[in-house]
Copies of this chain bind each other. A is one copy, B any other.
Amino acid sequence: MQQGFEQLGLIGCGLIGGSFALALKRAGCVRRVAGYSPSLSTIERARQLGVIDTAAASAQQAVAGADLVLVAAPVAATEAIFKTIGEAIAPNALVMDVGSTKSDVIAAARAALPADKLPYFVPAHPIAGKEVAGVSHAEARLFENRQVVLTPIEPTLQAHVQRATQVWESTGAKVIIMAPDAHDNALAAVSHLPHLLAYAFIAGIAGQAQGARFLDLGGPGFRDFSRIAASAPTIWRDILLANRAAVLAQSATFRGALDRFEALLRAGDAQALEEAIAAASRTRAQWQPEVMVPPPKV
């Protein structure tokens, strides 16, 4: 980055917010971090870990004097947060969120941010994470070689999209610009649906009389397939609800594909089953979108 920030006002000091603060400090992109969390233990832990420098007593206090604001809270809390901090945000401060859904966050921004702050809002979604939550798991390199989607809206200033791009690139991420709808539809398919399926998969096994014994026989395939079923309930409750129409549409498409596989199984059609598996197997074996961008020199 050519131009660093004086102060990051961080609302929400969890895995993503904490990792963002650490990444910016590591890149030398921010002088100090003022953090706020509704949980006193979280904020204390964040300070102990060096994620934040100042524990703010309120969300307004965290953003006061900040030239960069990151809202890193469950998406359902976005509107209330914007309402709380809207007037306290400094003029010209770059404002971003990190929500896994964008249309609802944008609606919240339009409803709750003062009109003169909207040009400085750049909706962002870093496609990175872990199945464990909380600031204790935050790490400066969480975004390295990951994709970050920015979904600017009509009032967003182009100069701020560029600044947002620079900030995320300084964390080692690759930035993609998309329309909010396109983002939400794509993420429903490759992220929200797998979470729904993984939760249902575990619930289906756990609900059986022999479920616990079955689980004892899970191997490496089970481990990886079901890893995301351990993800944080409140965060994923919000994401699935916020993007519900697209998620249900993807689930219907998935059911159609499952119908076809089951029909081939029932029919004992070995050749067609092999072809269907082979097509999926090729697609997955060729998948390699994880970007390998070297982190920029600071």
Q: Which residues of A contact B (CB under 8 A)?
A: 76, 127-131, 146-147, 149, 176, 183, 185-187, 189-191, 193-208, 210-211, 213-234, 236-237, 240-241, 244, 247-248, 250-251, 253-258, 260-262, 265-266, 268, 270, 273-274, 276-281, 283-285, 287, 289-290
A222 and B191 form a contact (CB under 8 A): yes
Number of copies: 2
Which B residues are in CB contact (< 8 Å) with A277?
199, 233, 236-237
Given A225-B198, A244-B265, A284-B230, answer yes or no on A190-B215 (Cβ-Cβ < 8 Å): yes
For A219, the closest partner residue in chain B by CB is: B127
Q: How far apart sit A208 and B226, CA to CA, in the bound complex (Å)? A: 24
* Chain B contacts for A187, CB-based, 8 A: 217
Residues of B within 8 A of A202 (CB): 280, 283-284
Contact among B241, B256, B258 for A265, CB-based, below 8 A: B241
| 5 pairs of A and B residues whose beta carbons are closest in the complex | A204-B257, A127-B219, A233-B278, A200-B258, A229-B284
Provide the bound-state CA to CA distance between A270 and B190, in Å. Answer: 22
Q: Which residues of B contact A241 (CB under 8 A)?
A: 265, 268, 270, 273
**Can you give 22 A-B contacts (C-beta < 8 A)?**
A127-B219, A149-B217, A189-B211, A191-B222, A194-B226, A196-B258, A196-B261, A197-B258, A199-B276, A199-B277, A200-B257, A203-B261, A204-B254, A206-B280, A218-B289, A224-B227, A225-B227, A229-B280, A229-B284, A231-B281, A234-B274, A237-B277
Which residue in B197, B234, B276 is a CB contact (below 8 Å) of A197? B197
Bound together, the chains give a CA A251 to CA B217 distance in angstroms of 18
| Partner among B205, B274, B289 whose Cβ is within 8 Å of the Cβ of A215 | B289
Contact yes or no, B208 A189, CB < 8 A: yes
Between A219, A255, A273, the greatest number of chain B beta carbons within 10 A of the residue's beta carbon is seen for A219
